[in-house]
Structure 1
């Protein structure tokens, strides 16, 4: 992984962490439980520069799909991993070559 990819990965992980905290804050009454979380996250990420970090144009529906995919993948491959870093690696691998 190049130095540029590493920097993007760190920035993406930070944005994902920020999204997680914002999601928890908006869903305090359910302790963050939200069956539609990918929809909320996709909107938040797109509004906060996710596309620029990936240097990609993403449809909201595509990002929702990818968030569901990476969530399922992480639960199978690395259930104890820090989700933000796992997700960041998932996106960097697919978009920043």
Structure 2
């Protein structure tokens, strides 16, 4: 039996590229539902990588979404680590990459 995880991606980097998850993520039942990027990546780049995902303007939209099981926090700096705490307080799984 497969367990499907609804995933949110919060990218904290300032380098302007969209975080890329492996193809294995798709076959392992992960569904990228929402993406938030703190940098100036273009919406087109995000939609190319995650065509099914909603692009959100605030990380809280991902953290507060009851349908999201796992949140991937990409490239956090020391001053972004409070996001990890917020995710855990919301009762969600978190993966820092």
Whether TM exceeds 0.5 here: the answer is no
- Structure with more strand by fraction: 2
Quick one: higher RCO (CA 8 Å, sep 6+), 1 or 2?
1
Q: TM-score by structure 1 length?
A: 0.29
Q: TM-score by structure 2 length?
A: 0.29
